[in-house]
Structure 1
Amino acid sequence: MKRPKVSLDIETIPPTIRPYLKGATFYNSSCSEQAKTLYVVGADRAFLKISKRGTLEREYKMTEFLHGHHLAPKAIAYESDPENDYLFSEAVSGEDGTADQHFENPGKLAAVFGEYLRVLHSLPTAGCPYTNRTAELLVDGAGKGIDLSQLDEFMYSASDNVIIHGDYCLPNIIMDHFSLKGFIDLGYGGVGDRHFDIYWGLWTLHYNLKTDIYRDIFLDAYGRSDVDLDGLNYFAKLVELMD
């Protein structure tokens, strides 16, 4: 992605993070309106994410958890002030799943995207700081006044039994020529139902590649024996209701 050079007054950043920023050059790497993300090029390369207070704690803790399994960058510092959260993380080598080098071989991209999701879902859940992600989703839906009884048609009982990313889309996986370097943007992760990630994996392949022809490659690479179509439909409906 293109990252325009920007300025930053480091005196506005919490003191524990400022030493990492001295003499650095900053580039805008934001991809959402909810958070400002800066690519920091100094003695080392890193990312500084700034968002509303209370919104980055989960991402920090999940990044730490997955870093312990060598599947996420190191979270160097996490701080808050009265208005904002600040998450400073190392930049791992490679490019995200939407890079040209990956799009040039969409079949291989779909295959490794499924394989790496299986790696994530095969992690032990012990020590994960968030243990009921699916339950949280349902509580959020109910809080928004959504009629969750509409999910009953699928005869599927959602569960919290694997580590999920929570936003398993191509921009949130970093690879170096298809070799996994880490998962990023983990603010929706925790122990949840595998079909939530599988749904989003299929969604992003369709959205980014503008076709569904790689759907089967992704599902085969993940392992069809653990994919329940009712589970996929369940979460497709839940996402639709919450949209």
Structure 2
Amino acid sequence: MTDAPDRPTLPDALKRVLPAARWERVSGGQSGAQVWRSTRYVLKVQPRTPHPVSTLQQERERLRWLAGRIPAPQVVAFEVEENQEFLAMTRLNGIPMSHPDARLHPERVVNLLARALRELHALPLRDCPFRQTLDVTLPLARERVQAGLIDGSDFDDDRAGRSPVSVFNELARTRPAQDDLVVTHGDATLDNIILNGEFVEGLIDVGRLGIADRHADLALAWRSVRSELGERYAGMFLDLYGRALVDDSKLAYYRLHDELF
């Protein structure tokens, strides 16, 4: 996908849109995407493969929908060439919440995280055209398992040694009877919320955004905070978000669910 380690290969259409820039390679994104950034832009390059977690076309659609609703990058261009997708967007000022230089007190981090998710989850459902409910995600999970796309060695410690099939079977068997639907981010980790100073600048990596149970976000956010900041602050995050809205069994369910994505 690249001519050299220090720059991406751009389709002609993108060369006309993006100014000449010094690109910096960022660690790879979800679904096998390569991520590059310049001072003003972020570029994602992703192969078109069967049963993806999300596509760059989906991310483009969601970024366009978020404009004017929740701070997020603006779409600059989208192209498909030689079975690859290219998505160029503006770069948000700031750094991820998970970055060592975030340098905020953990209590401030979880407060901002809880506030950002409450704001997203408060968006009117009737306005959101994207669905990520279990009716959508469980069939995709089955396809990914059947296609051999799940690396069981990457499961969380409490599921070490289990097979992807057993995880899917448990998801199907223990599916919650009712959904608490909101507009969710879909990958609500500290990596995907950008801080600028002591405030949230915006959300990134929104290719899985859509209507789903709020616990799809809360489970991943809780796990991310526990991993980065510790058990105490993971619990504080849930307190700040609103314990009355939290179902511990659903938190466990959606952590299991994420193993197949």
The answer for unaligned runs of 5 or more in structure 2 is: 50-54, 147-164
Alpha-carbon distance in structure 2 between the residues aligned to 1:64 and 1:237: 30
Alpha-carbon distance in structure 1 between the residues aligned to 2:202 and 2:226: 22
Going from structure 1 to structure 2, the CA distance change for 1:15 and 1:208 (only over 3 Å counts) comes to same
Going from structure 1 to structure 2, the CA distance change for 1:16 and 1:126 (only over 3 Å counts) comes to farther
Task: Spell out the pairing of 1:1-243 with structure 2 (5 A cutoff).
Answer: 6-9=6-9, 13-32=10-29, 34-41=32-39, 45-53=40-48, 55-143=55-143, 144=145, 146=165, 150-151=170-171, 156-159=176-179, 161-209=181-229, 211-240=230-259, 242=260
| Total equivalences in the alignment | 231
Alpha-carbon distance in structure 2 between the residues aligned to 1:151 and 1:133: 13
Deviates most, 228-237 or 99-108: 99-108
Amino acid at match of 2:206: L
Going from structure 1 to structure 2, the CA distance change for 1:8 and 1:106 (only over 3 Å counts) comes to same
State the TM-score, normalized to the length of structure 1.
Answer: 0.84
Going from structure 1 to structure 2, the CA distance change for 1:155 and 1:35 (only over 3 Å counts) comes to closer
Deviates most, 165-174 or 150-159: 150-159
Alpha-carbon distance in structure 1 between the residues aligned to 2:19 and 2:251: 47
2:223 touches 2:234 (CA, 8 Å); kept in 1?
no
Instruction: Tell me the residue number matched to 2:156.
Output: none
1:125 touches 1:191 (CA, 8 Å); kept in 2?
yes
1:53 touches 1:80 (CA, 8 Å); kept in 2?
no
Amino acid at match of 2:216: F
Alpha-carbon distance in structure 1 between the residues aligned to 2:185 and 2:247: 18
After TM superposition, give the deviation of residue 179 of structure 1 in Å: 1.1
Q: Which SS does the other structure have where 1:140 is aligned?
A: helix
1:65 touches 1:127 (CA, 8 Å); kept in 2?
no
Instruction: Tell me the residue number matched to 2:159.
Output: none
Q: Which SS does the other structure have where 1:86 is aligned?
A: strand
Alpha-carbon distance in structure 2 between the residues aligned to 1:151 and 1:36: 30
Going from structure 1 to structure 2, the CA distance change for 1:25 and 1:188 (only over 3 Å counts) comes to same
Going from structure 1 to structure 2, the CA distance change for 1:170 and 1:15 (only over 3 Å counts) comes to same
Going from structure 1 to structure 2, the CA distance change for 1:25 and 1:127 (only over 3 Å counts) comes to same
Alpha-carbon distance in structure 1 between the residues aligned to 2:100 and 2:87: 28
Going from structure 1 to structure 2, the CA distance change for 1:155 and 1:168 (only over 3 Å counts) comes to closer
Alpha-carbon distance in structure 2 between the residues aligned to 1:237 and 1:51: 26
1:134 touches 1:158 (CA, 8 Å); kept in 2?
no
After TM superposition, give the deviation of residue 30 of structure 1 in Å: 2.9
Going from structure 1 to structure 2, the CA distance change for 1:239 and 1:91 (only over 3 Å counts) comes to closer
Deviates most, 136-145 or 200-209: 136-145
Report the RMSD for the aligned CA atoms in angstroms.
Answer: 2.4
What do the CA deviations read for 1:113-158 (whole angstroms, capped 9, x no partner)? 1111111111112342322433222112333364656347768325
Alpha-carbon distance in structure 2 between the residues aligned to 1:178 and 1:83: 41
